[in-house]
Amino acid sequence: MKPLIAVSCHELDAPELARGMEALQGDRGATFMLLWELYAGIFDGVARAGGVPVSLSCTHGTEDALLAADRFDGFLLSGGADLDPARYGQAMGGSRNISPRRDAFEAALLEAALKRRKPVFAICRGLQLVNAVLGGTLIQDLASVGGPAAVHPICDFPSDKRVHRVDLEPGSLAASLLGPSFEANSLHHQGADRIGRGLRVTGRAPDGVVEALESTGSSFLLGVQWHPESLAAEDPAQQGLFDAFVRACS
Enclosing domain of residue 167: 4-249
Enter the pTM of the model.
0.91
Active-site pick, 211, 214, 227, 249:
227
> Rounded to 5 degrees, what are φ and ψ at 55?
-80, 140
The fraction of the chain above a pLDDT of 90, given in percent, is 69
Q: What is the mean pLDDT of residues 175-198?
A: 96
Q: Is 164 a catalytic residue?
A: no
CATH code of residue 137: 3.40.50.880
Structurally, the chain folds into a number of domains equal to 1
Q: Is 124 a catalytic residue?
A: yes
Instruction: For the chain, give the mean pLDDT.
Output: 89
Active-site pick, 106, 211, 214, 229:
229
Q: Is 58 a catalytic residue?
A: no
Active-site pick, 124, 152, 164, 189:
124
Higher per-residue confidence, 185 vs 97: 185
